[in-house]
Amino acid sequence: MSAVVRDVTACLAAIVLAGCSRSTSSETSGRVVVALTIDWEGADVSPGALAAIEQVRRGLGDVPLTHFMSSAYFTKESVDPTLVTFIRSAVHKGDELAMHLHAWRSLAEASDVEPKVSPSFLTGTDEVLAFDHGDDGFDTDLDAYTVAELRLFLRTSRRLLEKTQLPISHTFRAGGYLGTPKVVQAIRDEGYTVDSSAIDHRQLDELEDQTLPARIRDIWPGVSPASQPWLIPAHGGQILEMPIAAFVDYSPAAEIAGVIEAAHARWKSEPGKDVFVVLGFHLETAEDHVGQLGEALANVRARPEIAESLMFTTIEDAAAQARSNLAAAPE
Ligand SMILES: [Zn+2]
């Protein structure tokens, strides 16, 4: 039997158990809950990236994606006239459109905030990435701005993304994974309830740059690919953190499959309990990396024992499930 046929067979078996599609929360108790996420960085959109993503999505069947979207495509000097159409074709029915923030200079200007482009979270200095379109600030450390300024970025971003006429959730991911206390306070003050920025700094160790992993280690100490949702205190209320288990930009397919295998093993040792796995890739590098995600998922779904434990959903729905689990858990 070919790998493709095996995958389809495993998936069909799992559909019977609601393992290959979205389920209501009452059906999700005791599952390996997988949320697939894509970060739109606000640099460039390309038909090639979208085609690569659609190809992988066809292979995965009806599984939702959570789109963490920077609004800075709308603040470039020259805005692609097909941008809204592009976004609307990428965000399928059942997907979640969530907020992603990189402090692009053009977004600062659109937000009536004085641009402070440095320090870079990649270099730790005022040396920032340059782009052909002339905008910069992609790698600006979000902590360069005050909570009040970050709130202006968030408000402007939401207004810009509303041009898509798609519903925007109250889920957030920070550029550079920099969910600092200031950023968490800003999102809390703007009504966001869920963050998904935490990541194991060791995932980024293979990058030549060492500034970002060190910065992430300080912000998210002790986070590992096995970390499970937790509550972060902020003034006015808590934010639910949905940590990232792996990003395909830094992890080959075998490593991604290993993360799911490990989650399945933890679920088997305590089958009544949900185990959450958040995976990610980026729009701007999708052509190079999204195939790894498809390969990893095909691999684990070809194994019926694992396939039947999997439930794919959005971050918003996974967070609702995690929140009710945390509320029900003994102190
Ligand atoms: Zn990003």
For 159, other C-beta atoms within 10 Å of its C-beta total 13
Rounded-to-integer distance, Cα 41 and Cα 173, Å: 11
The structure tokens listed for 59 are 């292979």
Rounded-to-integer distance, Cα 225 and Cα 228, Å: 9
Rounded-to-integer distance, Cα 138 and Cα 72, Å: 9
Phi-psi region of 237 (alpha: psi -120 to 50; beta: other; left: phi over 0): left
Q: From ligand 1's centre to the CA of 196, what distance in Å?
A: 11
Rounded-to-integer distance, Cα 291 and Cα 92, Å: 19
* Element housing 98 (H / E): strand 96-101
Q: What are phi and psi of 98, to 5 degrees?
A: -120, 175
Q: From ligand 1's centre to the CA of 41, what distance in Å?
A: 5
Q: From ligand 1's centre to the CA of 111, what distance in Å?
A: 19
Question: Residue 54's pLDDT is what?
Answer: 96
Q: Which residues surround ligand 1, an ion (CB under 5 A)?
A: 39, 41, 175
Q: From ligand 1's centre to the CA of 245, what distance in Å?
A: 16
Q: From ligand 1's centre to the CA of 320, what distance in Å?
A: 24
Question: Residue 330's pLDDT is what?
Answer: 65
Q: From ligand 1's centre to the CA of 39, what distance in Å?
A: 6
Question: Residue 208's pLDDT is what?
Answer: 65
* Element housing 282 (H / E): strand 275-282
Q: From ligand 1's centre to the CA of 43, what distance in Å?
A: 10
Q: From ligand 1's centre to the CA of 249, what distance in Å?
A: 12
Q: Do 23 and 32 touch, CB atoms closer than 8 A?
A: no
Which domains does the chain possess? Answer: 33-252+269-291 (3.20.20)
Question: Residue 6's pLDDT is what?
Answer: 36
Q: From ligand 1's centre to the CA of 165, what distance in Å?
A: 22
Q: What is the residue-level pLDDT of the chain in tens, covering all 331 positions? A: 333 333 333 333 333 333 334 444 444 457 999 999 999 999 999 999 999 999 999 999 989 999 999 999 999 999 999 999 999 999 999 999 999 999 999 999 999 999 998 999 999 999 999 998 999 999 999 999 999 999 999 999 999 999 999 999 999 999 999 999 999 999 999 999 999 999 999 988 776 667 999 999 999 999 999 999 999 999 999 999 999 999 998 899 999 999 999 999 999 998 889 999 999 999 999 999 999 999 999 999 999 999 999 999 999 999 999 999 998 876 5
Q: From ligand 1's centre to the CA of 122, what distance in Å?
A: 12
Per-residue CA distances from 238 to 68, 181, 218, 232, 264 (Å): 20, 12, 20, 5, 29
For 238, other C-beta atoms within 10 Å of its C-beta total 15
Question: Residue 4's pLDDT is what?
Answer: 34
Rounded-to-integer distance, Cα 104 and Cα 245, Å: 26
Q: Is 238 helix (H, G, I), strand (E, B) or coil?
A: strand
Nearest to 237 by CA among 192, 199, 174: 192
Q: From ligand 1's centre to the CA of 229, what distance in Å?
A: 20
The structure tokens listed for 80 are 């692609």
> How many whole angstroms from its chain centre is CA 265?
23
Q: From ligand 1's centre to the CA of 27, what distance in Å?
A: 32
